[in-house]
Amino acid sequence: MGLLTLSVSLPSLKPPPCGPNTADPSCSTKVSPLHVRVFFCALYILAVGAGGTKPNISTIGADQFDEFHPRERAHKLSFFNWWMFSIFLGTLFANTFLVYIQDNVGWILGYALPTLGLAISISVFVAGTPFYRHRILAGSPLIKMARVIVAAARKCTMRLPSDPKELHELDLDAYAEPGKYRIDSTPTWRVLNKAAVKTGPTNPWALSTVTQVEETKQMLMMIPILITAFIPSIMFAQTNTLFVKQGTTLDRHIGPNFKIPPASLAAFSTLSMLVSIVLYDRYFVPFMRRFTGNPRGISLLQRMGTGMAIHIVIMSVASLTERRRLAVAREHGLVESGAGVPLTIFILLPQFVLMGVADAFLDVAKIEFFYDQAPEGMKSLGASYAMTSLGVGNFLSSFLLSTVERITRQHGHGWILNNLNASHLDYYYAFFAVLNCLNFASFYVVSRYYVYRAETTHQGLVDD
């Protein structure tokens, strides 16, 4: 953030000014390679930093609750709801106040404020370090998983013993330390059990414990769920891209003097999610708990599935809304000019509000599911699954956009053009509605066969 602030503050790092009353009113002077390198370097540093902090901060927060203390365990069930609430409260601030500052005051202050806020946050986080509950370092989970897979591959031709107790495992004394848990062998993914067959070399790449095998199984079993989370992440990307671009073609005035900045349109979705999280945690969970007996009201996979079902409704509504916008554009002869359509921005409100409701179900459940179902020593890796789905979803969104645009241009009128009044975003949204239906069906099948991780106990064992 500091580098981004410098890139808009120092004259040597800023692009040349454009517009009337400037030295270059025609904007013929191009941005220098130095400007581009500094700006994108700052963005990539920010992305790398976010990749390290996002899965770990949520994990550290959840680790502060004692699973074996009844009151703390109950509070932990609400932690991820309020964790996401705080995240999106910051998003609301960025989409409203910061956007207004950047549009009406300047980019220097617009970047300086979040830089200052980040510095304060880091200071507060570091100051609290002595008071946190810290997990014991247990090595890289990726290396652990790789060792199990390699050991199983080396013994792929061997037969498993009839009694699972003959597989390699450490004594209970080795799991007596806090934070260590022994897991009994399970019949799922039996091929990986061969990594614990006692034969040949005993180095870590040739022989694994049953617990290490079961931890690897659990991480691999979540991958099908992870894959079905890619499509919902594509939907999330539409909120800040095509939905916003739609809004720029509509009447954004509220009263005679105020005009909603395009980037602030996502605030409608954020507000909806904030309200939905509160209603979900305070009213929906206690209500459903009476019928299901589940402390969470409904299971995490059911909550994710509900969010996916709402995505189908969202894209259907978005398609119908866009069809209405295009009809008005044709009625007023605005197709070729691409001028603003005489429709209020609030016709987009249903799709933004529904996206917030869907996020309250899906996004919270997604990060909680991957954290909760990950083995005790791989919680951060589990939480990173949720961030992975978001990152892959954004790349897939760009890929689908460019692919559909290219294919539809080759076979007639393009669906996605620079001039939205001449485009067919209604077809594109309908395509997403169908894609979400197919993904929901896949998720249903995968979730039906998913086996939830067993609960841990005081004795360092995992109950089946």
For residue 279, the cross-strand partners are none
Q: In this structure, is the dihedral angle defined by the CA atoms of residues 77, 83, 84 and 85, taken in order, positive or negative?
A: positive
Return the pLDDT at 434: 97
Rounded Cα distance between 319 and 309, Å, is: 16
Token digits for 290?
Answer: 């009476």
- Domains in the chain (CATH in brackets) are 1-134 (no CATH), 141-221 (no CATH), 222-464 (1.20.1250.20)
Rounded distance between C-alpha atoms, residue 443 and residue 438, angstroms: 9
pLDDT at 446: 94
Look at residue 76 in the predicted model and tell me its pLDDT: 78
Contact 447, 301 (CB under 8 A): yes
How many angstroms separate the CA atoms of 241 and 429, rounded? 13
Contacts of 316 (CB under 8 A, 6+ apart): 429, 430, 433
Helix (H) or strand (E) holding 339: none
What pLDDT shows up at residue 458? 45
39: left (phi over 0), alpha (psi -120 to 50) or beta: alpha
What is the structure's pLDDT at 464?
A: 43
Query: How high is the pLDDT of residue 192?
Result: 92
- The per-residue pLDDT for 179 is 65
**Residue 254, H or E segment:** strand 253-254
> Strand locations in 264-411, DSSP E?
none
310, 357 Cβ separation under 8 angstroms: yes
User: What SS3 state is found at 203?
Assistant: coil
- Rounded to whole angstroms, how far apart are CA atoms 233 and 362? 10
Query: What is the rounded CA–CA span in Å between residue 61 and residue 3?
Result: 29
**Token pair recorded at residue 319:** 């398609």
Q: Residues with Cβ < 8 Å from 439, sequence gap 6 or more?
A: 228, 231, 232, 308
- Rounded Cα distance, 266 and 254, in Å: 16
Q: Is 155 helix (H, G, I), strand (E, B) or coil?
A: coil
What 3-state DSSP class applies to 456?
Answer: strand
The pLDDT assigned to 463 comes to 45
- Per-residue pLDDT at 28: 57
d(CA 315, CA 293): 33
pLDDT of residue 308: 96
Give the helix/strand (H/E) hosting 82.
helix 70-93
The torsion of the CA quartet 448, 441, 84, 391, rounded to 10 degrees, works out to: 110
> What is the bridge-based pairing of β-strands 253-254 and 258-259?
antiparallel
What letter does residue 94 receive in the DSSP assignment? Answer: I
Scanning 155-194, the segments in alpha helix (DSSP H) are 190-193
| pLDDT at site 132 | 81
Average pLDDT by consecutive 10-residue portion of the chain (464 residues)? 79 64 54 77 84 76 76 79 84 80 80 88 87 76 92 89 86 73 85 88 87 92 95 89 87 79 79 92 92 91 95 95 91 83 88 93 92 86 88 91 89 82 91 96 94 59 45
CA–CA dist 408, 428 (Å, integer) = 10
